[in-house]
Amino acid sequence: PLPLRRYLTSKDRFHAYLKARGASGNEEAAQEDEEEESVSNDQTEPPAKRAKLDDPVKEGESQEDAEEAGREEKEPVERKRARGQNKSRPCMKPNHYEKSRLCPSVTQGCAEKCYFGSRCRFLHDIDEYMAVKPADLGQNCVLFETFGKCIYGVTCRFARAHLGDGYQNVVNVDLAKQWEGKSLVRNNLSKDLQHQLRKKKFSFEKADEYLRCLAKSHGNSGKGNKGAGNSTEGQEVPNCTAPEKGPGDAPEHPVLLDEGEDPKPAALESPGPVDASEDSPVTATGPVTDEDIIKLRPCEKKKLEIQGKLYLAPLTTCGNLPFRRICKRFGADVTCGEMAVCTNLLQGQSSEWALLKRHHTEDIFGVQLEGAFPDTMTKCAELLNQTIEVDFVDINVGCPIDLVYKKGGGCALMTRSNKFEQIVRGMNSVLDVPLTVKIRTGVQEKINVAHKIIPRIREWGASMVTLHGRSREQRYTKVADWDYIAECAKIANPMPLFGNGDILSYEDANQAMQMGVSGIMIARQVGALIKPWIFTEIKEQRHWDISSSERFDILKDFTNYGLEHWGSDTQGVEKTRKFLLEWLSFLCRYIPVGLLEHLPQKINERPPYYMGRDYLETLMASQNVDDWIKISELLLGPVPANFTFLPKHKANSYR
């Protein structure tokens, strides 16, 4: 499905057009594009990565040894260039863009109660801060317009919309009352729970019991029971989900923020399900249950009724909460948080717990866990079962990246059947919600093993399996094997099996559903990241020739959701920009329907250079990083000095 001939162009003309229409500051980027080999279909490696590949012969090493080593490394180097991550990319954290920051105690209106006092490294003088604060990025603040109050006050990059005399933060009282007490984002990590996890005071009674039984069944209490020694049986279970102070309660000291953490309005976020306090004098009325003593039977567990629904896959980096809100608006039925590492969750890492956050519009929501051992995975499942609200928990047995695979997680669990079984059985025993598993066809390209594992997963107690029609070695290259997915769907019956891979149009979705699967998952390299409106196309059974202005409005909504989620201060703006640029690295691969000779677009066919129907459509088709930055500047203002960006994931399905 190539673009119509009248839209085709050469690489030089493509970039010359963008250079002529764009800002004059892109001259260097255009020269770099002209120096690239026009015959190459692959993006060139980052300079730091090229340097590693071009290392000269080391001292003391003979030429023959060097040649032999070169022959051994030649093949892996070629594979490495086509897959994985840009590990050597320059990385600049968003909180480093602002050298002089205002103390959070000043922003929260209690500067006299700064915990660090004279030792505080932040500014406490508002006039001094305003003198060095970067210029505002716009006239309207999305937080003020939506909620009636911007909690970032003078630090907001759109502060002119809500600052009065003397830098006083203006509040729209009527609008703020409408949102008072409402929880828009759930599953937050409370300070109390974080403290318990860091001090190892959280009780894992069910997990410890399972691990003790597991150790006895192996006849050795020392193996497979790393967590048994930390048993808290007999101790009082601490109340980790006690409600936090209301928005009207002033803290004795201002809340101190971890590095990279943003203050959030108490009315917009809640720590999850709220239980009555242990020392509450109020006597509870109602039926008495024995759930704390007798665990639920499999038939009593909540069922996961999502057959035939559209499932947005957990997408690392790009599957953040603002992006899921975009997909939800276009018709996604089921959403799932990004892959979270169980050991990081057990340590109380704020950045990892942020992956579990759930927006109130996500009516069917799950979280995905990654781990390699039954003790940590079972404990993490029990932790989440007690502290957050989810409809299901998914185990990642499909992650192909080396960092996870070499530690025994992800795809490696498909080759470690004993550990895999212990993990599934253990997590299922401590969860009150359904447990699902996401797998691939196998580890090696031509050796499929999923059909052997799926019946065992059903026997272990999983409620559903999702099968990606590629092996670990294939990563995201070549086409997904839907014939094999159909074969596995028959084997899995009566357990639901969702298929995943190469869904980029409603025709692809229709063909997939004819394979006998219970539903389809729309994921990274196809579908959701390239065209999030695919959910609308599938439900309405049509091709949507979406205009460049409509696509730009989608990006505008994403930035507004990002500012609402990550904050409207400098740190929040740059974090929003970072995730926007990551998404643009996939969006640029979409070819407008009105430009195609034949429908639909196929994911494994790389398009030639083409000119869009207007400048914005052409700009969105560029695979030049500088053009993505230009789009971000249209939405979030100019980038900071010394700003650099390379996408985290290299999209390599075009082969």
Angle between helices 625-636 and 27-35 (to 10 degrees): 160
Residue predicted with more confidence, 308 or 236: 308
Average pLDDT, the chain: 80
* Share of residues in the chain with pLDDT > 90 (%): 53
Residue 91 lies in a domain: no
The DSSP element (H or E) to which 566 belongs, if any, is helix 548-566
Same domain, 163 and 306: no
Residue 7 lies in a domain: no
Sequence-separated (6 or more) residues with CB below 8 Å from residue 246: 266
Q: What is the pLDDT of residue 9?
A: 84
From residue 14, give the alpha-carbon distance in Å to each of 26, 60, 419, 632, 634: 14, 49, 53, 20, 20
Query: Region 59-74: what's the mean pLDDT?
Result: 45
Give DSSP secondary structure letters for 202-263: ---HHHHHHHHHHHHHTT-TTSS-TTGGG--TTSPPP-TTPPPPPTTSPPSSPPPPPTT---
- Summarised one tens digit per residue, pLDDT across range 546-578 is 999 999 999 999 999 999 999 999 999 999 999
For the ranges 199-213, 266-280, 616-630, the lowest mean pLDDT is seen at: 266-280
Q: What is the pLDDT of residue 396?
A: 95
Residue in the structure block whose two tokens are 């923020």: 257
Q: What is the pLDDT of residue 66?
A: 44
Residue 44 lies in a domain: no
Q: Please check the confidence at residue 497 and state whether its pLDDT lies above 90.
A: yes
Q: What is the pLDDT of residue 637?
A: 93
- Summarised one tens digit per residue, pLDDT across range 232-271 is 333 333 333 333 444 434 444 444 444 444 444 444 444 4
Q: What is the 3-state secondary structure (H, E, C) of 156-212?
A: CCCHHHCECHHHCECCCHHHHHHHCCCCCEECCCCHHHHHHHHCCCCCCHHHHHHHH
Same domain, 384 and 532: yes
Identify whether 399 is a catalytic site residue: yes
Q: What is the pLDDT of residue 49?
A: 38
- Residue ending a domain, among 154, 185, 216, is 185
Q: What is the pLDDT of residue 46?
A: 44
* Strand partners of residue 185: 269, 359
Residue 275 lies in a domain: no
- Summarised one tens digit per residue, pLDDT across range 180-222 is 888 899 999 999 999 999 999 999 999 999 999 999 887 654 4
Nearest to 95 by CA among 566, 561, 492: 566
Same domain, 481 and 616: no
Structural domain total, the chain: 3
Same domain, 462 and 568: no
Q: What is the pLDDT of residue 220?
A: 52
CB 573 within 8 A of CB 137: yes
Burial class (CB in 10 A: 0-12, 13-18, 19+), 46: middle
Same domain, 518 and 556: no
Q: Please check the confidence at residue 81 and state whether its pLDDT lies above 50.
A: no
Same domain, 529 and 639: no
- Residue ending a domain, among 544, 561, 589, is 544
* Share of residues in the chain with pLDDT > 70 (%): 73
- Residue ending a domain, among 511, 527, 544, is 544
In the set 156, 336, 342, 399, the catalytic residue is: 399
Q: What is the pLDDT of residue 439?
A: 95
Indicate the pLDDT class of residue 226, thresholds 50, 70 and 90. Answer: very low
Q: What is the pLDDT of residue 581?
A: 94
- Give the domain extent around 624: 547-650
Top mean pLDDT of 93-107, 216-230, 330-344 is at: 330-344
- Summarised one tens digit per residue, pLDDT across range 37-61 is 333 334 444 444 343 334 444 444 4
Q: Please check the confidence at residue 609 and state whether its pLDDT lies above 80.
A: yes
Nearest to 420 by CA among 445, 448, 388, 398: 398
Residue 327 lies in a domain: yes
Top mean pLDDT of 231-245, 458-472, 595-609 is at: 458-472
CB 366 within 8 A of CB 332: no
Residue in the structure block whose two tokens are 């030649």: 74
Q: How far is 88 from 53, CA to CA, in rounded Å?
A: 12
Residue 467 lies in a domain: yes
Sign of CA dihedral 217, 222, 223, 227: positive
Residue predicted with more confidence, 77 or 588: 588
Same domain, 407 and 540: yes
Q: Please check the confidence at residue 341 and state whether its pLDDT lies above 50.
A: yes
Same domain, 581 and 509: no
Residue predicted with more confidence, 613 or 604: 613
Same domain, 514 and 566: no
Residue 332 lies in a domain: yes
Q: Please check the confidence at residue 645 and state whether its pLDDT lies above 80.
A: yes
Same domain, 520 and 598: no
Q: What is the pTM of this model?
A: 0.78
Q: What is the pLDDT of residue 100?
A: 84
Residue 479 lies in a domain: yes
Same domain, 513 and 597: no
Q: Please check the confidence at residue 401 and state whether its pLDDT lies above 70.
A: yes
The DSSP element (H or E) to which 507 belongs, if any, is helix 506-513
Indicate the pLDDT class of residue 86, thresholds 50, 70 and 90. Answer: low
Same domain, 365 and 511: yes
Q: How far is 579 from 575, CA to CA, in rounded Å?
A: 6
* Share in percent of the chain as helix, strand, coil (round to 5): 40, 10, 50
Q: What is the 3-state secondary structure (H, E, C) of 582-599?
A: HHHHHHCCCCCHHHECCC
